[in-house]
Amino acid sequence: MPTSIPEQELMEPGHTACQGCGATLAMRYVLKALGKKTVVSVPASCWAVIPGAMPNRTLDIPMVYTPFAATGASISGLREALDIRGDSDYNVVGFAGDGGTADIGLQSLSGAMERGHNVFYIMYDNEGYMNTGVQRSGSTPYGAETTTTPVGLDRNFKKQQKKVVADIMMAQGVPYVATATIAYPEDLIRKVQNAKKTNGPKFIQILAPCPTGWYYPPEKTIEVSRMAVQSRMFPLYEYSMGTFRLTRPSKPVSVKEYVQSQKRFSHMDEDEISILQEEVDRRWEGLLEKETH
């Protein structure tokens, strides 16, 4: 059967991610889309340890480690340096977690996008600081239990709604912005390849479920990723050259069904679930409106 995604593998086996890690699939698909002429910059995150201990590497392309807050600055520098060397045909990719993007790296990201470098910024969103033991980030959704939002007797789960960095990037006027997730690799790869056609900054937020931090069994990673789209918890869209396209889920499921698939939400009562459902509906309406403008 002709494979529906490129056969080339630039991520090797033997890496040290947890069983069923969604973040590894995000990297695997992005590199399938971009090919060998690619340089990746990774800040402190799970992906900084997934390649394993020295002297091992798991990517067959150059990978640079950068300080937690500096992904945007590092891809600016890499781009300019490669251009001076005449290597303008190399793709420069920042590959950072949600903590490194929505929180500590936001100003660096915004600056790089504003300066207009020809770079990719890929945010792999596992909705928490997973590498350091599951702390909440700005990208953690309302309702989730993390080690810094322990439910306990005070029902101290995360009370704030998810900060969606892709929406911020659209508001900033970044020429190419998209959301994707690992359950739909064909869509993800097509978006990365579309982004490549834009000569300028591009931002893609990839939802990458994490069995270790979302507390679900590892075999469910793809299922959970699919349900995030079907429940509209994580809408898929593409914003390119001012045109916005939203993907309508084929088999809608309720937010309730989605939260029941993960133990991080298991404490939520009906009222709390409806607060989350209302936010999801509100955001969906906003995205629908964007499509008509």
**Interface residues toward ligand SF4, by CB under 6 A:** 17-18, 21, 23, 46, 126, 130-131, 210-213
Span 23-82, contacts to ligand TPP by CB under 6 A = 23, 44-46, 68
The window from 22-30, 79-87, 116-124, 157-165 that contacts other proteins (CB under 8 A) reads 22-30
Span 80-119, contacts to other proteins by CB under 8 A = none
The residue with tokens 């994580």 is 234
Q: Residue 61 or residue 104: which is nearer to ligand TPP going by CB?
A: 104
Residue 98, binding choice from other proteins, Mg ion, ligand SF4, none, Cβ under 5 to 8 Å by partner class: Mg ion
* Residue 212 binds to ligand TPP (criterion: CB under 6 A): no
Whole-number Å distance between alpha carbons of 267 and 204: 32
User: What is the closest distance, in whole angstroms, from the C-beta atom of residue 266 to other proteins in the complex?
Assistant: 20
**Ordered alpha helix ranges (H), 151-220:** 165-172, 185-196, 211-214
User: What is the closest distance, in whole angstroms, from the C-beta atom of residue 137 to ligand SF4 in the complex?
Assistant: 12
Write the DSSP string, 62-100. Answer: -EEEE-TT-HHHHHHHHHHHHHHTT-TTSEEEEEEEHII
The residue with tokens 């359950």 is 183
Residue 212, binding choice from ligand SF4, other proteins, ligand TPP, none, Cβ under 5 to 8 Å by partner class: ligand SF4
- Among 144, 140, 145, 135, smallest CA distance to 162 is for 140
Three-class SS state of 6: coil
* Residue 131 binds to ligand TPP (criterion: CB under 6 A): yes
| 25 DSSP β-pair partners | none
Q: Residue 41 or residue 118: which is nearer to other proteins going by CB?
A: 41
How many residues in total does the chain contain?
Answer: 293
Assess contact for 207 and 182: CB atoms under 8 A: yes
Q: Enumerate binding residues for other proteins (CB under 8 A).
A: 1, 3-5, 7, 9, 11-17, 19-22, 24-25, 28, 51-52, 54-58, 182, 185, 211, 217-223
